[in-house]
């Protein structure tokens, strides 16, 4: 049976830059194929706006495969939209009904200033990573795989933490705009492995200090970050970050 195309009503946040006053603007997307992605729907809407000599909607995207973390927007009040464990680019229009109204807005956080429309500046994450997201290694040939023994459960958990794509949904969903899940995941991926231990104290102290410097809010355990994370990273990463910080300051 052929699927019926949809008519979708949109309320999109439009804002020239961080200093300008923004507002929601109404649009209608016609003949929307239910199998197209959310970003493809915005592409087609932008094509219609360009034909009308109107300014297209700016939104961030790159891989469109749920890998890069660039595409995040808030859809109907939920970061990345209605389907859990997915990025915005993985949302399909069949998840909406004909005639639905969709509210689209950018990440809302002081540390993520709006560049234009739905695009925000997430370079605060880069500065946090630069403060401690590496390990010292000896130069030379590649070591034998089993030269450093790692427990299976810890290596699996470290890989789960490393899956964080830095999209910022955790910040957008948190009522305090906390980056604790992101920072906790990045600290955990090293803290769980022996290769990350030599710099462990310096790493956690400097990364958490930079997080505070960037004006992210404090974590108060609402759990919204875990709920919207497209890689389903556990809130236990925050507990591990706090434990690593305590170890660093008392050592």
- For the chain, domain boundaries: 6-105, 123-250
Give the contacts of 34 (CB within 8 A, at least 6 positions apart): 3, 4, 5, 6, 92, 93, 94
**CB half-sphere exposure, 74, CA atoms < 13 A:** 20
Which CATH superfamily groups domain 6-105? Beta-grasp domain (3.10.20.30)
**Domain 123-250: which CATH number of 3.40.50.150, 3.40.50.2300, 1.10.1060.10, 3.10.20.30:** 1.10.1060.10
Task: List CB contacts of 242: < 8 A, sequence separation 6 or more.
Answer: none
Instruction: Give the pairing type, strands 78-79 and 114-116.
Output: unpaired
Q: What is the pLDDT of residue 2?
A: 65
Residue among 193, 171, 172 nearest 180 (CA): 171
Give the predicted TM-score (pTM) of the model: 0.92
Give the Å distances, CA to CA, from 225 to 35, 79, 197.
Answer: 28, 9, 27
Give residue 137's pLDDT. Answer: 63
Paired tokens of 64: 């469109």
Per-residue pLDDT of the chain (251 residues; tens, 9 = 90+): 567 999 999 999 999 998 999 999 999 999 999 999 999 999 999 999 999 999 999 999 999 999 999 999 999 999 999 999 999 999 999 999 999 999 999 999 999 999 999 999 999 999 999 998 666 666 667 667 677 788 899 999 999 999 999 999 999 999 999 999 999 999 999 999 988 888 999 999 999 999 999 999 999 999 999 999 999 999 999 999 999 999 999 98
Q: Please tell me the predicted confidence (pLDDT) of residue 106.
A: 98
């Amino acid at each position: 049976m052929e699927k019926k195309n949809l008519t979708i009503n949109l309320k999109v946040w439009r804002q020239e830059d961080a200093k300008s006053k923004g507002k929601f603007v109404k649009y209608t997307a016609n003949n929307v194929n239910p199998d197209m992605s959310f970003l493809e729907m915005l592409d087609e809407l932008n094509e219609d706006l360009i034909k009308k000599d109107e300014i297209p909607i700016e939104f961030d995207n790159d891989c469109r495969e749920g890998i890069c973390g660039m595409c995040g927007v808030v859809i109907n009040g939920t970061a990345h939209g209605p389907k859990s464990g997915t990025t915005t680019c993985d949302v399909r229009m069949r998840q909406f009904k004909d005639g639905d109204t969709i509210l689209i807005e950018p990440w809302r956080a002081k540390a993520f200033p709006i560049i234009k429309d739905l695009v925000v500046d997430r370079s605060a994450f880069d500065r946090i990573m630069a403060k401690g997201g590496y390990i010292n290694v000896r130069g030379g040939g590649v070591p034998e795989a089993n030269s450093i023994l790692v427990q299976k459960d810890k290596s699996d958990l470290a890989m789960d933490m490393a899956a964080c794509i830095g999209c910022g949904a955790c910040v957008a969903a948190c009522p305090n705009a906390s980056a604790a899940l992101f920072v906790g995941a990045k600290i955990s991926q090293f803290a769980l492995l022996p290769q990350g231990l030599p710099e462990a104290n310096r790493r956690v102290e400097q990364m958490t200090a930079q997080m505070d410097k960037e004006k992210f809010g404090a974590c108060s355990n609402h759990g919204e970050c875990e709920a919207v994370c497209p890689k389903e990273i556990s809130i236990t990463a925050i507990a591990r970050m706090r434990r690593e910080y305590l170890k660093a300051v008392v050592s």
